[in-house]
Amino acid sequence: MGMMQGKVALISGGAEGIGGATGRRIVAEGGSVVLGDIQFDKAKALASELGERAMAVSLDVRDLAQWEAAVQAAVATFGKLTHLVNVAGISEPGAVTDVDLDSWARTIDINLNGTFNGCRAAIPAIADSGEPGAIVNIGSMLALRVGSGFAAYCASKAAVTALTKTIALDCAEKGLPIRANTVHPGAIRTPMFERYLEALPGTVEEVEAMFAANHPMGRVGEAAEVVNAIVFLLSDQASFTTGVDFTVDGGGNFRS
């Protein structure tokens, strides 16, 4: 029996990258997934590939009404919702003194408010399932060890970390069997990372080497390595684990 047997998870950013890889793994582990993404066509294609235990919904995480519709779709299709994975996010460079103000607002809206909206919409449905549930929010190595040139990203992911802990406490104090944890990836080989390889000065090899140097293990991580942590924290194997910061960053958060 798989680690996610009989579970139903809603994943934001589920069309590709870490979100898409998480959807694949949950289905492989016996669960069902709702892949929410603003890239609806990509999400539909992946859901079709994964089969009858997967569906796609159009989801702009900034819109609470779209989150509520996604939760309703999960319950209508699979009979319940037991898990939530907040992956959708953006990363745009800019220090405090020069970050574009629209970029600042957009990053906070997607990374922080989007995660809040997902938790607000999903927690009542997870509680109604009558089963133990779990939430995993995606933070970042840069939430724990910030970089000066990513003010909005660092701030938003640090806030997600604190938000997750408040959810963990709130659910525990209310006697709800819902755990909430944060996974903090380092640089991970995803479409977002590939865009950085193309956008930053230097050859692709030089840019990747720069990212790798920020990780004591000397390389960039793979999406599957992050998914291992996500699925563990979602599963009953982590039944007494809540409010933790789980790093998957090759030691990058405590580098010298």
Q: Which residue has the tokens 């939530």?
A: 84
Tokens at residue 147, please? 């970089």
Is 153 labeled as catalytic in the residue annotation?
yes
Amino acid at 214: N
**Rounded Cα–Cα distance for residues 199 and 195 (Å):** 6
First to last CA, the chain: 42
Catalytic residue among 67, 104, 150, 153: 153
Amino acid at 13: G
Q: DSSP letter at 240?
A: T
Amino acid at 213: A
**Bridge partners, 183 (sequence order):** 138, 246
Q: What positions carry a catalytic annotation?
A: 153
